Amino acid sequence: MHGKIAVTLGDPAGIGPEIVAKSLPKLNGALNRIIVVGNVKNFRSVCHKSGIRPDIIDMVELVDIDSPEITPGQVQKEAGAVAIKAIEEAVKLWKSGIVSGMSTAPISKEAIRLAGSSDMDHTSMLSRLTGGKRLTTLFKAGNLATTFATKHLPLRDAISRISGELVYDSIELADISLRLLGSPRRRIAVAALNPHGGESGLLGTEEKDIILPTVEEAKKMFNVYGPFPADSIYHRANMGEFDVVVSLYHDQGHIACKMLDFDGTISMNPGLPFLRTSVDHGTAFDIAGKGIARERSMYLAIQYALDMADAYSDNFATIL
């Protein structure tokens, strides 16, 4: 018997409620395992506008987050407050043993800041709420998986952060991620930072000075290879040569996954004490309330959490 998962609706002014609503009919056999957390009045209104039958909504458990009226498509302090509270309530459900995992609709960084949050994103918020110290972000698009050495940083800052310690830690976290997700093998590739992998220093020295020596050291403990030019390694991994690519900065891995399957990419945070999955996109305020948002990434994120949350928790207990 699989456990329940919490599904947070994200920023109620964005497309989160809509893509969750549109996902529910596709999850018909598992609706009794889903607890939706967010502003229920807003969610029911979105479900109605999206043509979702009331009996479908009644098959999931709802945890209401009270809120004043929210205007679709706008950054609002009130919407940010709802998004924050939904995440906090979902974590409480996990701490109480009611859910074994979580799937989250997108939030607005600007809105949660207006609401008083000091967190940058879901990852930092969940890390703080659970006490998780060592976690990463992993994107999965079909056969391609990638983790990130750095994430939400200006590119100049991300490059300045590249160090042997960071690269080694990222390799270890990639290996842990594959173990938590039950991968039968753990072949890790590290993407290069510079064009053509630096061309032996002609196009940058980070590879020969930092990344390659670190990969060679890490080979003593992990099945890791690289650094490989970023313009080819993601294709090689998608073809099955590697099980995960360590991306050195945000856009490296994001572009690869989203070009491969924009609507089918899901995000997760291995290292948290429970499986958290999410979409690969933001709140899309420009189309919020128009009924045209595509739900595939949200549906796949929820389905993956339903399928894998219990196994992830079992693996976490033995690995971390």
Is 90 exceeded by the pLDDT of residue 54? no
Determine phi and psi for 135, rounding to 5 degrees. -140, 165
Predicted confidence band at 133 (pLDDT cuts at 50, 70, 90)? confident
Q: Are residues 75 and 166 in the same domain?
A: no
Is there a domain that residue 9 lies in? yes
Interatomic CA distance for residues 15 and 108, integer angstroms: 11
**pLDDT tens, residue by residue, 292-306:** 999 999 999 999 999
Q: Are residues 174 and 74 in the same domain?
A: no
Confidence (pTM): 0.94
Q: Are residues 171 and 243 in the same domain?
A: yes
Total structural domains within the chain: 2
Q: In the structure encoding, which two tokens stand for residue 14, read together?
A: 């964005």
Q: Are residues 81 and 53 in the same domain?
A: yes
CA distances, 285 to each of 45, 87, 251, 278 (Å): 17, 20, 21, 17
Predicted confidence band at 120 (pLDDT cuts at 50, 70, 90)? confident
Predicted confidence band at 132 (pLDDT cuts at 50, 70, 90)? confident
DSSP string spanning 206-219? HIIIIIHHHHHHHT
Q: Are residues 1 and 126 in the same domain?
A: yes
- Provide the domain limits for residue 189: 136-268
Predicted confidence band at 186 (pLDDT cuts at 50, 70, 90)? very high
Q: Are residues 43 and 123 in the same domain?
A: yes
Q: What is the largest CA-CA distance in the chain?
A: 64
List the one residue out of 86, 34, 83 whose CA is nearest residue 56: 34
pLDDT of residue 94: 97
User: What mean pLDDT comes out for the span 49-69?
Assistant: 92
User: What mean pLDDT comes out for the span 145-151?
Assistant: 96
Domain CATH code at residue 171: 3.40.718.10
Q: Are residues 119 and 214 in the same domain?
A: no
Q: Where are the beta strands (DSSP E) in 99-170?
A: 99-104, 138-141, 144-148
**pLDDT tens, residue by residue, 265-280:** 999 999 999 999 999 8
